[in-house]
Structure 1
Amino acid sequence: MPKKLCNIFCGFIYIANKEKLGLGTNLRKLRSKTKYSQLDISDLLGIDRNTYANWENEKNDVKSEFIPKLAKIFNVEIKVLFEEKINSVRSTLK
């Protein structure tokens, strides 16, 4: 991963942790606006469903390598994953 890109992700993660923006809550909200289950999303990411469920429940932190993948799945910019309010989501998943 290019250093500049890593710095961007690290910045977002730092902001999220500092301000407690609730990435897991946002993942749940984004997923609920699609027809996908936790299993569907975990399969798209190539991880165990329990791992994804723990992210949504904020029991575990999302590894930075999955942040851009999650943004792509939900068809949002990375910063949307960390926003306090999620108003609209355009998902290209079918």
Structure 2
Amino acid sequence: MDQFLNSMSDPATPTSLSDYLQGLDQETVARMSRPSSPEVMALMDQHIMSLLGHLPPQEFDVTITTNRENLGRLLATALMSGYFLRGAEQRLKMEQSLTNSHEL
């Protein structure tokens, strides 16, 4: 994880993750970027808003300023959260499937 964060602050330092992502075609990136369900999308929205702070846009004009390192950390946090939520969703579906198969 530290190597990934360091590469975010120094783009000249390649990592296996950055090499992998740069090698993906646009269709694959688009497919991987789509949330698997509306529920996962809502949870990711809530998580990112909690990280950034959420004020109603109709009442506040909010500008967030950060540096490259902190933005890299935010990206890493979002990636890890998305990965966790996707795994949890898959596990829930598997448990539901197993429960349904035992009921038959």
Q: Which TM-score tier does this pair reach, normalised by the shorter chain?
A: 0.3 to 0.5
TM-score (norm 2): 0.38
TM-score (norm 1): 0.40
Higher helix share: 2
Q: Which has the higher contact order (CA 8 A, sep 6+)?
A: 2
